[in-house]
Structure 1
Amino acid sequence: MKCYKRIIPLILACMMLAGCGQNVYKKGVESLENKDYVAAQENFQKAVEDKKNVADSYRGLGIAYYEQEKYKDALAAFENAVSAGTKETGTICNMMAVCKMQTENYEDAISYYEKALDHSDCSDDMKQEIQFNVIVCYEKLEDWDNAKAKLEDYVTAYPDDEKAAKEAEFLKTR
Structure 2
Amino acid sequence: MPIFPDGVKILRYSMLKTKYIVLLLSFVCIFTLGSEKVLAEFRKRSKIDFLSRNETKVYANFCTGYYLMLEHRWEEAIESFKKALESNQHAEKIHNLLATCYFQLDKKDEALFHIEEVAQLKPDDFGIHYTLGSIYASEGEGEKAVYEYERAGGCALEDIDKVFVADMLHRLANLYLKNGDLEKATSTYKKILDAKLTNEPAGIHLKLGQIYLERKRVEEALKEFVKVKESDSDLESISFYLAVCYEELKDYDNAIAELKTFIERHPEAWFMRISLSNICEKVRHFEMAEFEREKAFEILKENVG
* Superposed pair shares fold, TM > 0.5: yes
In structure 1, stretches of 5+ residues that fail to align are: 1-6
SS at 1:87 equivalent:
coil
The TM-score normalised by the length of structure 2 is 0.43
2:224 pairs with 1:156: no
- Residue 168 of structure 1 deviates from its aligned partner by 3.1
Q: Which residue of 2 aligns with 1:3?
A: none
Q: Which residue of 2 aligns with 1:72?
A: 143
Whole-angstrom distance in 1 between the partners of 2:140 and 2:132: 12
User: Is the Cα contact below 8 Å between 1:106 and 1:137 reproduced in 2?
Assistant: yes
Whole-angstrom distance in 2 between the partners of 1:68 and 1:169: 39
Matches within 5 A, 1:1-174: 12=61, 13=80, 14-15=83-84, 20-24=94-98, 27=100, 44-49=115-120, 51=121, 55=125, 56-83=127-154, 85-87=155-157, 89-120=165-196, 122-125=197-200, 127-172=201-246, 174=248
User: Is the Cα contact below 8 Å between 1:59 and 1:86 reproduced in 2?
Assistant: no
**Alpha-carbon spacing, 1:169–1:41, altered in 2? closer, same or farther (3 Å):** farther
- Residue 144 of structure 1 deviates from its aligned partner by 1.5
**Alpha-carbon spacing, 1:101–1:87, altered in 2? closer, same or farther (3 Å):** same
In structure 2, stretches of 5+ residues that fail to align are: 1-55, 62-79, 159-164, 249-305
Q: How many residues align?
A: 157
**Alpha-carbon spacing, 1:150–1:136, altered in 2? closer, same or farther (3 Å):** same
**Alpha-carbon spacing, 1:162–1:87, altered in 2? closer, same or farther (3 Å):** same
Q: Deviations over 1:55-96 (max 9, x none)?
A: 22111111222344543322110112233x242844333332
The TM-score normalised by the length of structure 1 is 0.69
Greater Rg, structure 1 or structure 2?
Answer: 2
Instruction: Compare the two structures and name the one with the higher helix fraction.
Output: 1
SS at 1:124 equivalent:
coil
Higher relative contact order (CA 8 A, sep 6+): 1
Q: Which residue of 1 aligns with 2:271?
A: none
Q: Which residue of 2 aligns with 1:4?
A: none
Whole-angstrom distance in 2 between the partners of 1:145 and 1:41: 46
- Residue 24 of structure 1 deviates from its aligned partner by 4.6
Q: Which runs of 4+ in 1 moved over 4 A?
A: 16-20, 38-43
Whole-angstrom distance in 1 between the partners of 2:113 and 2:203: 30
**Alpha-carbon spacing, 1:141–1:124, altered in 2? closer, same or farther (3 Å):** same
The two structures, once aligned, show a CA RMSD in angstroms of: 3.5
